[in-house]
């Protein structure tokens, strides 16, 4: 039986135009508030003279009491003269957004609603008439504004802004940084909040997705954040680039997540595809307005592993129904419906696990209740038992010409050996785990021995 998530795939496909299945790394960049920054040199050349512009990013601020000289710069341009277009953490709950045009005229917005220690999306747009600030896709404030930035040599900074030689280093994390030479619409800003930046977005000049390196890993060999638009890479400085801070870390993941159980041996249908393996699958859709929508499907399976402690078998899946079966004839063992099972007879056993809408069966596990590890009545000895790589057979009397026939629990002959030695080592390499029979045939007797291969 399989469990399905009820989604209107027909509706989804009808409004989306393309699909790409892909694995993604969702990283961000963590700034320590001391000396970390990313600098894109001369990036103002990308918006020089433009009558419109926009910046956007996700930010995770941590500074509980910013004040001079400890304001926290987030992203943007700042020369304090003729080229300001930036976002800065002004208080524990507000953002300062500023546009200074080439005539030195400042336009400022103090946007309230910022929250510490949580991801939030900010965008600032300028359309030639108004400067606007958005938080999580919703406009928070606007002011009339005019003019352009004509400086072409100003750096774009991430995690820092400068004021008369003072660095406003950010204590926090930043992800999904974008710069446009046009004004984003309210619809497009909401799209950025709900999804990732589309690299084909009209007017996008610079895009740092921060998906570089290994989150929390050793990234000391990385010196830049690549610009996905291939215009201006951001140069890293001050970062430790190892560990859980001052480094690449886990980033914002604003995809729509579908979780479901995938029954063993079955497939999960999604948008005309059949997914047969557990894992995380990401699908990116692009609408007619170049607004990416990401669907992440997380498929998990019940745990069908079994722990064996001598003769006791225990299913590792908790909170399920259990039915132990005899693998020889695939029949249920009467009354064996608990998570743990101790057989009363030699054999191979598995458990049928019912959980999360699935009925899954474990692999078979061999159990041997009694073993021949000492001298038998005929004087034969077999050890060790159970065994892993090799067993040794020893007779306490001359054997003459002996034939040994190795067979599995079903009686199928696996190997025949001829020897006249009183001591013989039988290699078990290549044999599956389970119970095996060994018939020792001589001129005077036939001895049936049994051992367990682990």
Domain harbouring 339, CATH code:
2.60.40.10
Least confident of 116-120, 317-321, 434-438: 434-438
Rounded to an integer, what distance in angstroms lies between the CA atom of residue 161 and that of residue 295? Answer: 35
8, pLDDT greater than 80: no
- Mean pLDDT along residues 200-207: 95
Least confident of 11-15, 118-122, 268-272: 11-15
Q: Are residues 86 and 177 in the same domain?
A: yes
What is each CA distance from 280 to 19, 236, 262, 297, in whole angstroms?
16, 31, 12, 6
- 236 neighbors 223 (Cβ within 8 angstroms): yes
Peptide bond into 243 cis (omega under 30): no
pLDDT at 138: 97
Query: Is 70 among the domain residues?
Result: yes
Q: Are residues 232 and 312 in the same domain?
A: no
- 447 neighbors 380 (Cβ within 8 angstroms): yes
- Mean pLDDT along residues 317-339: 94
Q: What is the pLDDT of residues 413-443, one digit of tens each?
A: 899 888 888 888 889 988 988 888 888 887 6
- 390 neighbors 426 (Cβ within 8 angstroms): yes
Rounded to an integer, what distance in angstroms lies between the CA atom of residue 343 and that of residue 321? Answer: 18
Q: Which of 250, 268, 291 is the last residue of a domain?
A: 250
Whats the size of the chain, residue-wise? 454
Query: Is 286 among the domain residues?
Result: no
Q: Which of 202, 235, 250 is the last residue of a domain?
A: 250
Q: Which of 367, 400, 415 is the last residue of a domain?
A: 367
What pTM was estimated for this model as a whole?
0.63
Q: Are residues 389 and 316 in the same domain?
A: no
Q: What is the pLDDT of residues 134-154, one digit of tens each?
A: 999 999 999 999 999 999 999
Put residue 220 in one of left, alpha, beta given phi > 0 → left and psi -120 to 50 → alpha: alpha
**C-alpha closest to that of 134 among 203, 59, 227, 234:** 59
Q: Are residues 231 and 312 in the same domain?
A: no
pLDDT band per the 50, 70, 90 thresholds, residue 3: very low
Give the chain's mean pLDDT. Answer: 87
Q: Are residues 352 and 384 in the same domain?
A: no
Two tokens, residue 346: 């030699």
Query: Is 131 among the domain residues?
Result: yes
Put residue 232 in one of left, alpha, beta given phi > 0 → left and psi -120 to 50 → alpha: beta
The CA-to-CA distance between both ends of the chain, in Å, stands at: 32
Query: Is 400 among the domain residues?
Result: yes
Q: Are residues 56 and 33 in the same domain?
A: yes
Buried-exposed string 206-231: b where 16+ CB fall within 10 A, e elsewhere: bbbbbbbbebbeebeebeebebebee
The alpha carbon dihedral of 243, 248, 252, 255 has a sign of negative
Peptide bond into 84 cis (omega under 30): no
pLDDT at 11: 33
Query: Is 22 among the domain residues?
Result: no
284, pLDDT greater than 90: no
Least confident of 36-50, 225-239, 291-305, 330-344: 291-305
- Name the percent of the chain in helix, strand, coil, to the closest 5: 5, 45, 50
Query: Is 374 among the domain residues?
Result: no
**C-alpha closest to that of 155 among 67, 92, 86, 224:** 86
- 280 neighbors 298 (Cβ within 8 angstroms): yes
The number of domains in the chain is 3
- 347 neighbors 409 (Cβ within 8 angstroms): yes
Q: Are residues 400 and 339 in the same domain?
A: no
Q: Are residues 360 and 401 in the same domain?
A: no
What is each CA distance from 154 to 85, 149, 209, 230, 435, in whole angstroms?
11, 10, 22, 18, 76
Q: Are residues 350 and 386 in the same domain?
A: no
Put residue 82 in one of left, alpha, beta given phi > 0 → left and psi -120 to 50 → alpha: alpha
Query: Is 347 among the domain residues?
Result: yes
CATH number of the structural domain spanning residue 207? 2.60.120.200
Q: Are residues 359 and 212 in the same domain?
A: no
Q: Are residues 124 and 212 in the same domain?
A: yes
Which domain covers residue 59, as residue numbers? Answer: 27-250
């Amino acid at each position: 039986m399989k469990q399905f998530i009820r989604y209107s795939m027909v509706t989804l496909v009808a409004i989306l135009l393309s699909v790409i299945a892909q694995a993604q790394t969702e990283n961000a960049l963590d700034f320590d508030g001391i000396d970390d920054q990313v600098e894109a040199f001369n990036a103002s050349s990308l918006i020089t003279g433009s009558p419109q512009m926009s910046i956007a990013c996700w930010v995770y601020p941590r500074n509980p009491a910013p004040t001079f000289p400890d304001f926290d710069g987030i992203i943007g341009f700042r020369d304090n003269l003729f080229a300001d277009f930036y976002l800065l953490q002004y208080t524990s709950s507000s953002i300062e957004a500023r546009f200074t045009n080439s005539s030195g005229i400042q336009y400022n917005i103090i946007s309230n609603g910022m929250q510490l220690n949580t991801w939030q999306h900010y965008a600032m747009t300028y359309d030639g008439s108004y400067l606007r600030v958005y938080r999580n896709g919703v406009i928070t404030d606007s002011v009339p504004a005019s003019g352009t930035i004509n400086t072409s040599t100003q750096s774009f900074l991430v995690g820092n802004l400068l004021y008369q030689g003072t660095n406003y280093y950010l204590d926090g994390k930043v992800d999904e940084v974008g710069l446009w030479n046009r004004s984003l619409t309210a619809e497009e800003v909401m799209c950025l909040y709900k999804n990732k930046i589309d690299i084909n977005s009209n007017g996008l000049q610079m895009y740092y997705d921060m998906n570089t390196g290994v989150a929390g890993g050793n990234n000391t060999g990385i010196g830049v954040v690549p610009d996905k638009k291939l215009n201006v890479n951001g140069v890293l400085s001050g970062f430790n680039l190892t560990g859980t801070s001052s480094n690449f870390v886990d980033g914002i993941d604003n995809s729509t997540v579908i979780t479901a159980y995938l029954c063993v041996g079955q497939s999960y249908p999604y948008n005309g595809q059949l997914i047969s393996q557990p894992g995380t699958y990401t699908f990116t859709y692009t609408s007619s307005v170049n607004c990416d929508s990401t669907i992440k499907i997380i498929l998990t399976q019940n745990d069908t592993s079994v722990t064996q402690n001598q003769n006791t078998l225990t299913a590792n899946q908790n909170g399920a129904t259990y039915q132990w079966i005899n693998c020889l004839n695939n029949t249920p063992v009467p009354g064996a419906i608990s998570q743990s099972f101790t057989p009363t007879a030699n054999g191979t056993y598995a458990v049928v696990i019912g959980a999360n809408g699935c009925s899954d069966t474990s692999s078979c596990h061999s159990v041997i209740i009694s073993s021949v590890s000492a001298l038998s009545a005929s004087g034969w000895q077999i050890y060790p038992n159970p065994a892993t790589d090799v067993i040794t057979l020893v007779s306490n009397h001359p054997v003459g010409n002996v034939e040994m026939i190795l067979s599995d629990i079903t009686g199928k002959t696996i190997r025949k050996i001829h020897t006249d030695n009183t001591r013989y080592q039988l290699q078990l390499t290549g044999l599956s785990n389970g119970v095996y029979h060994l018939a020792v045939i001589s001129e005077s007797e036939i001895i049936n021995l049994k051992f367990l291969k682990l």
